[in-house]
Amino acid sequence: MIEKMAEKQNWAKLTPWLGVATIILLFIYTSPTEVIFWALINIPLYLFHQTEEHYLPGGFKQYINTVINKLPEGEEILTDKKVFWINILLVWVAFSIFGVLSFVNIGFGLLIIFFSLMNCATHIVTAIKQKEWNPGLVIASLQFIISIYGAYFISIYGDISDVFAWWIATILFSIIVHIGIYKLAMTKN
């Protein structure tokens, strides 16, 4: 089952539908005037980002292998399996956990936001460096702006006892996770 879902990023075919479902639920149960909305908005946005990266138009894996790693066509460091596990564990599972924890302490919403900001920044910096579009850039650019506002909104209106400590912790967490992702994605099996 996992092999079939990982193959050719079949899992990504679910992302636009999950994105639509989660954004509808977000607007049914919250509103942009609520702090929890800004903690959770990156969940559907990230699903749309994954759609752009891996499904429509897709090509993220190939872009990393051929443009970033400069491998010949057909040779891979970033594989379908790695793409599957990175996206399912670090986005679907982790964002779900941090989303639920945001109802307990809104500071956990900053984890979703800063993780998203860091990912978006990598797409934007890569586009500038390579002077070209990369799979995920369009949604990442929109998501970056929304995430900055979300971080501001939560920091000002959220009931967080030590906002500065949450910012530092979530930024450090996001850096460590992104370093791990980079090492996993760029290491040959």
pLDDT in tens, 176-186: 998 988 888 77
Every domain of the chain and the residues it spans: 2-186
Closest to 10 (Cα-Cα) out of 115, 87, 122, 97: 87
Residue with tokens 């996992």, as numbered in its chain: 2
Closest to 144 (Cα-Cα) out of 126, 124, 170: 124
Q: Which amino acid is at 97?
A: I
Whole-angstrom Cα Rg for the chain:
17
Burial (CB count <10 Å: 0-12, 13-18, 19+), residue 178: middle
Backbone angles phi, psi at 102, to 5 degrees: -65, -25
pTM (two decimals)? 0.94
pLDDT at residue 186 in the model = 78
98 in Cβ contact with 112 (< 8 Å): yes
pLDDT at residue 56 in the model = 94
pLDDT at residue 115 in the model = 95
DSSP 58: -
Compute the distance between CA of residue 101 and CA of residue 105 in angstroms, rounded to an integer: 6
Both tokens of residue 46?
A: 């990230």
pLDDT at residue 28 in the model = 98
CA 29 → CA 39, 68, 130, distances in Å?
A: 13, 41, 41
Low-confidence stretches of the chain (pLDDT beneath 70): 189
The CA angle 47-49-52, to the nearest 5 degrees, is 115
Q: Which helix (H) or strand (E) holds 140?
A: helix 137-157
pLDDT at residue 2 in the model = 78
Compute the distance between CA of residue 50 and CA of residue 57 in angstroms, rounded to an integer: 10
